[in-house]
Amino acid sequence: MTKFSEAYRYSAETIAVGSELLLGGRSDSNSLFIAERLAGIGIEVRFKTIVGDQESDIAAVLNQACRRAGLVVMTGGLGPTVDDCTREAVAAVTGRRLVRRKEAFEGMKTRLAQWGRTPNRAQLRQALVPTGAIVLSNPVGSAPGFALTWRGAQIVVLPGVPSEMGAMMEQSVIPLARARLEQSKGSGPQPVTRMVFHTWGLPEAEVDRQLQGLITTRTPVALGLLASPTGVLVSLTTRAERPAKGGILLRTAEGVRTRLREWLYAEGQETMEEVVGRLLVEQQCTIAVAESCTGGLISHRLTQVPGASAYVDRGAICYSNKAKTDMLGVPGSLIERHGAVSREVAQAMAKGMRERAGVSVALSVTGIAGPGGATETKPVGLVYVGLDGEAGKPITKEFRFHGDRSVIKQRSSQAALDLLRRWLLERRHV
């Protein structure tokens, strides 16, 4: 093959190597990062493959990937153990010999020395690189990567550790990919531009209905929807232009904002907890959280945000009825009358927490995360969220979530944070 189509040259495939990715022990986050970074320079990831640690399987998927994508980025299988055989598979497919490269060995030895270690016999395998390949230094870890061209496809092989992969993508892979594009005739591809919107409170089908007619067949913008326990993500993707004043992408984005305004809580990479944190800082508010069914998840999410100490005062896991009474002052008679999972108890939990902490606002959550604990009148997924704020009417909301235990906990935490977000927005305009 001597002549390649533009579509082939500007397309990519990711191959994540590791049996643990197939058995449920770990998820593949590397491919998402790679796809986003490549899209920024105009290379679209068209395929994603996950393969186990069998050398023959790795070789098979690599062979196929090189036929349909101009750039193949592999992650994983570069460690020192017997199941790390990515380098052997690449060598077998491309017909190259594996040789110990001085720059690979020296880089690995230097990194290990920084950690007070010397390379053992097994680790010497990490310095083996196919002949003719470019060694890619690892600025974070010990395993070097490499890149080579075979039958028109550029093959890049990186470690599977996300921090190492990310650093090597920025330092080596993006410059290599850019240089390859510059060698092609013409002006090259337009970068893939993507805008992302995060919503909460509407199911995916309803979000789709709200956006019907916004994008026509002639609009060079692709609409994507992705449902998750934290809401529905809306994406707009185009090659037509970078975001610019008056451009079609920004006009379409404004349409999304207008149609989903009530449910739109963030754009780009911002999370619900970051939005809430920003609003708490702006209004100089402090918060305390009383959690039952979420088991501390809300407090964890709030304190994941750098600078959370400016507004998070405390959190309490009040799982048992006794804890609700001892720690928050919820009357035992109230629990006996209405049940621990009730509007009344959620309200009392929030009030008790705010009074004890002396904060601006307190959140509470109580519910049935399952799989057990349900009754005829209180099914799995029934959750109550309470909010008690300064000089304001207490708020309690009922939710009926579906999913397994972890999903219900995640949705409950999102619902609680969204209730807080809405309260803070209303407070800002009072």
93-147: pLDDT as tens digits? 999 999 999 998 888 888 888 888 888 887 888 899 999 999 999 998 888 999 9
CATH no. for 272-428: 3.90.950.20
CB 34 within 8 A of CB 79: no
Q: Report yes or no: 136 and 147 within 8 Å, Cβ to Cβ.
A: yes
SS3 211: coil
CA distance between the termini of the chain: 68
Q: How far apart are CA 1 and CA 66, in angstroms?
A: 12
Question: Cis omega before residue 175 (within 30°)?
Answer: no
pTM of the model: 0.76
Q: Are 381 and 368 in contact (CB under 8 A)?
A: yes
Q: What is the pLDDT of residues 16-53, one digit of tens each?
A: 999 999 987 678 889 999 998 998 888 989 999 999 99
Question: Which ranges of 169-271 does DSSP label H, i.e. alpha helix?
Answer: 174-183, 204-210, 248-259
CATH topology of domain 6-183: Molybdenum Cofactor Biosythetic Enzyme; Chain A (3.40.980)
Domain boundaries, the chain: 6-183, 193-267, 272-428
Per-residue model confidence as pLDDT tens digits over 193-244:
889 999 999 999 999 999 999 998 888 899 999 999 999 999 998 876 555 5
Amino acid at 83: D
pLDDT of residue 241: 58
Beta strands in 335-412 (DSSP E): 361-367, 382-389, 395-400
Q: Which CATH architecture has domain 193-267?
A: 2-Layer Sandwich (3.30)
Spatial strand order in the sheet of 145-150? 44-51, 11-17, 71-75, 153-158, 145-150, 134-136
Question: One-letter amino acid identity for 240?
Answer: A
pLDDT interval class at 5 (50, 70, 90): low
* pLDDT at residue 1, as a whole number: 38
Q: How do residues 101-110 score in pLDDT, each as one tens digit?
A: 999 888 888 8
Q: What is the DSSP string of 62-73?
A: HHHHHHH-SEEE
**Alpha carbons 232 and 226: distance in angstroms, whole number:** 5
pLDDT tens, residue by residue, 296-344? 999 999 999 999 999 999 999 999 999 999 999 999 999 999 999 999 9
| Mean pLDDT over the full length of the chain | 92
Per-residue confidence (pLDDT) for residue 145, from 0 to 100 = 95
Measured CA to CA, the distance from residue 369 to residue 211 in angstroms comes to: 32
User: Do 297 and 306 form a contact (C-beta atoms < 8 A)?
Assistant: no
How many percent of the chain have pLDDT more than 90? Answer: 75
